[in-house]
Structures are given as C-alpha cells and as structure tokens.
Amino acid sequence: MAELSYRDAVARGIAQEMRRDPSLVMLGEDIAAAGGVFKTTVGLLDEFGPLRVRDTPISEQAILGAAMGAAMTGVPVIAEIMFSDFLAVCFDILANQMAKTRYMTAGQVTVPVVVRTANGGGSRFGAQHSQSVENWTMMIPGLKVVAPSNPVDVVGLMAAAVRDPDPVVFFEHKSLMARKAEIPEGELVDRLGTARVVRPGRDCTIVAVALMVERALQAADELAGDGIEAEVIDVRSLVPLDARTILDSVVKTGRLYTVEENPRLCGWGAEIASIAADEVFWDLDGPVVRIATPHIPLPAADALEDETIPSVARIYETIRRTADQ
C-alpha cells in the first residue's frame, strides 16, 4: 500500500496505462515539463519522453482535433483540457465528431480518446473556471462520462477509460486534488458503469459524485446522531449509469436525495429522479429531493461560492427537515 493524493493518483493511473500500451500518447497544455497546471502529470515526461507526452498550443480545438485524428488511425490518446469550462471551446469536435464517428461508420472506426479535465468549484476561480459540467457531456449520445471521488477510483477508472474503445470524458475535481488515500500496489483496473455504496443505511438514499460524495458522507455521519441512517452512493460513472444500484437502495430506504454541484436546471440528478419515478415510484415514501447549486454563474467571493455549492450543513439540514414528511 502507498498513500497517494488524488493528483498523484492521476499520474499513477496514466503511467500504468502508458507502460501497458506503448502506443498510448498524451496531449495537452503544460502537461510535460510543467507537470500540469494542477500537477497531475508530474514525472510522466521523464519516464515516457517528449514523443509520448506532448505539450500543445493554447487551443482546445487543436488538442481534441489532433487527439481524434490520431485515435482514428489506431493511436489511443489521453487529451487534457485544462479546465472543464473550456470544453465549450471544442464542443463541436467532442459532441459532433468524436461522439458520432463510431455510429456513422457502422463501427468501422473507433475513437479511443480519454478527455481529462479539471472540474468543479471551491477554489475561488470564478464563473469561467469553476463550473461543474458533467451534465454538458452526459447528454451527448456516444460519450461516456466518469467523475471519481477518491484516489483509488482515479487509478482504476482511468484504466477502464483508457481501455474503452469509445471517447470517455474524465472529470477530475479541483477541490479533491490534495485528498489522500492508501492505494494497493500493482495494476488497478475498474469498470465503467458501476456505482458504489460507500455508506450503508436504511432510512434514505443519498446519491452524489466527486466532491459531493465526501460532503454527503459527512452529512450522513451527522444525521446518524439524529437517528437517521443514510445510505450514500457514489455514482462514479454517469454514462453508462448504474441505475440498478441506485434503485435497489431506494426500494430499501424509500427516500431519495441527489447532491449535485452542477446547476439545478437540467442537472444529472434530474435524470436519476426521472428514472426513480418511472421504476420505483410506489416504493418512494416521499418526493425525490434534489440538493443542487442554483442556476447562476458561480461567484468568486469566498462566502458567496460557499453559499452556492451544496455544503455539508445544507445537505444535513435538508434531509433532517424532509426525512419524516
């Protein structure tokens, strides 16, 4: 076992796959000698060299365009878009080209690209560098979407994403970069499309991803002091979605809460709420409750940002208030 931070786990996951597959390359801004703006690629240039770890111009369209072209010719690519907000700059390539090519060629051409990007708020970067945009990508048919909440999942899900023949958007949360965990030695390979029950409970189900998993767990500990045992599910993979794990939990607890950092309007929790209403409506003891960020640009001011993103206190208070209704 070795204790690694979330950011170091990113580098370990990439290195594991680059050692396994000598054709795998990386593209992105400042990922080589600088080790990435969030220090998630430190050491990769030294081990794999400049032909496989390549700095690019400041052009998201160029990064994904080159990645897609290479992947179509059989060279798998990990491409970094520095901030997830910048996916808007290259969205045509991501949504209309990468996501559609396998379908439009009847499976003759695959696009094995992992688009890594730093996502989420909490770092006081303001409205253009703090968004949580999982919902932007999960709505596009042909893309797979993952958002790990801890260092172990970073390594395992990175391997699963790299080995998948389709484009995968891999969200790395900025506010989790310093979090540490013990990671087993040897190769770690996880599976896309699998959620995980990270805290068992009997009274309600809390569903979350990335930073919100940590906050949901803290809120669940506080709720336990009030006699409310919350089951917490780390979704991990939004596309494909492990609806079965979520629905089985809701059948058991009768209550469903989603904790979402993305804005409430068209957030990923709305899809889960819809699935629950379709599949387990008669097992619900009350309405699905979504705890989300308001539909506003994220503020840069400390107090305002903290007020906007779901906090442990807001999760606790919302569930405490509604659990018996």
> Taking a C-beta distance cutoff of 8 angstroms, is the pair 223, 187 a contact?
no
Structure tokens belonging to residue 205: 């189900």
**Helix (H/G/I), strand (E/B), else coil: 206:** strand
Cis ω on the peptide bond leading into residue 240 (within 30° of 0)? Answer: yes
A 10 A CB-CB count for 299 gives 18
| Alpha carbons 118 and 83: distance in angstroms, whole number | 5
Continuous H helices in the chain:
6-20, 44-48, 60-72, 91, 99-104, 134-138, 151-163, 211-224, 243-253, 268-279, 302-308, 312-322
Structure-token match 């796959």, residue found: 17
Closest CA to 215 of 304, 290, 315, 297: 315
Of the residues 129, 215, 236, 255, which is catalytic?
A: 129
Residue 211 phi/psi, 5° resolution? Answer: -60, -35
- Please indicate whether residue 129 is annotated as part of the active site: yes
The catalytic residues are: 129
